Amino acid sequence: MKNILVVGSLGQLGSEIAIGLRRKYGSDNVVLTDIRDDVNLDLVQGGPFYKMDSRDGEKLLEVVKKHKIDTIYHLAAILSATAERNPQRAWDINMNGLITSLEVARQEKCAVFTPSSIGAFGPSTPKQYTPQDTIQRPTSIYGVSKVAGELLCDYYYHKYDVDTRGVRFPGVISNMTPPGGGTTDYAVDIYYAAVEKHHYECFLRSDTYLDMIYMPDAVKAAIQVMEANPDKLRHRNAFNIASMSFCPEEQAAYIRNLIPDFTIGYDIDPVKQAIADSWPDCLEDYAARVEWGWEPDYDLESMTEDMIRTIQARRG
Ligand code: SER
């Protein structure tokens, strides 16, 4: 990877993967695009940036040619809870955005990173230690688009030899970019509420187990899988990556180690609860570990400490 393009660079994943890539490969070698340009001005002004729709193939081709791009990170997507409110729009953005990047990659011989998600699984998937290769019948439109995306990336690899790769991200927790419209967002919001109000009203049931990952590990995975030796990749796309699995009650207990008077209440959102109930409790990630050396640095305890300390320091 020398000349990289990040599509959807100001979103939850994009903002921090873009920082990680610019740090590693240099700002001038990491070109960013997004549908907006009015947030995160450090990124917008810190290197080449184009305001554009991820479905605009002509513009994308022009940018890829101009900057001699060899790798595209396609990170523009609508998350699970927002997607349920307007499924047609979610399908349009998630699928037409992806195929636009794949088509440009095919023409210009670029590699493509696309994230899939724990959302690519459904109620008939084994919930505990969900295998890499298993039943995928998701019931959310987000999940449907993620499975279709996984298959489309495999197709472009087999049919056109496009070097497509990706991981299935758990819920991503970060203290920089707030998530938007995801089912796993509670696990981020809870830290801000803990520092500011010492109380959090959770929209998922206390015993809802889901896979989560701390952002530094998510960025590491996104870069590492693209740098992996292709001869060792048997799966290429949609690697399960596990890091930690917990429920709100457990997360609250770890927060209480640092903020002893923290309390949690529950005000269940039925749409988000139904989505969470259809997803695995914890993934098995043997393929990622063996094929490209995946190993997370953070667990629930070290992430909680880092989140709380960072948010506290920022609030003074
Ligand atoms: N974090 C995402 C969501 O909740 C899952 O990939 O939608």
Q: What confidence score (pLDDT) does residue 178 get? A: 78
Most ligand 1 atoms within 8 A of CB, residue of 80, 130, 283 to mutate: 80
Most ligand 1 atoms within 8 A of CB, residue of 130, 144, 150, 183 to mutate: 183
Most ligand 1 atoms within 8 A of CB, residue of 12, 75, 79, 130 to mutate: 79
Of 142, 186, 200, 214, the active-site residue reads 142
Q: What confidence score (pLDDT) does residue 72 get? A: 98
Distance separating alpha carbons of residues 158 and 71, to the nearest angstrom? 18
pLDDT tens-digit readout, 38-82: 999 999 999 999 999 999 999 999 999 999 999 999 999 999 999
The residue whose CA has the least distance to atom 2 of ligand 1 is 182
The residue whose CA has the least distance to atom 1 of ligand 1 is 171
Ligand 1 centroid–CA 290 distance in Å is: 25
**Residues whose CB falls within 8 Å of the CB of residue 127, separated by 6 or more in sequence, listed in order:** 280, 281
278 touches ligand 1 (CB under 6 Å) = no
Ligand 1 centroid–CA 27 distance in Å is: 28
All residue ranges of the chain with pLDDT < 50 are: none
CA torsion through residues 101, 103, 109, 113, sign: positive
Using CA atoms in the order 79, 178, 241, 152, what is the torsion angle rounded to 10 degrees?
Answer: 30
CB 35 within 8 A of CB 54: yes
Query: Can you give the pTM of this predicted structure?
Result: 0.96
- Domains along the sequence of the chain with CATH: 4-170+213-240 (3.40.50.720), 175-212+243-280+298-315 (3.90.25.10)
Q: What confidence score (pLDDT) does residue 316 get? A: 82
119 touches ligand 1 (CB under 6 Å) = yes
142 assigned to active site: yes
Q: What confidence score (pLDDT) does residue 177 get? A: 82
Ligand 1 centroid–CA 92 distance in Å is: 18
Ligand 1 centroid–CA 65 distance in Å is: 32
Mapped onto helix, strand or coil, the DSSP state of residue 114 is coil
Residue with tokens 């998922």: 204
Q: What confidence score (pLDDT) does residue 95 get? A: 98
User: Closest Cα to residue 97, out of 41, 143, 20, 33?
Assistant: 33
Ligand 1 centroid–CA 309 distance in Å is: 25
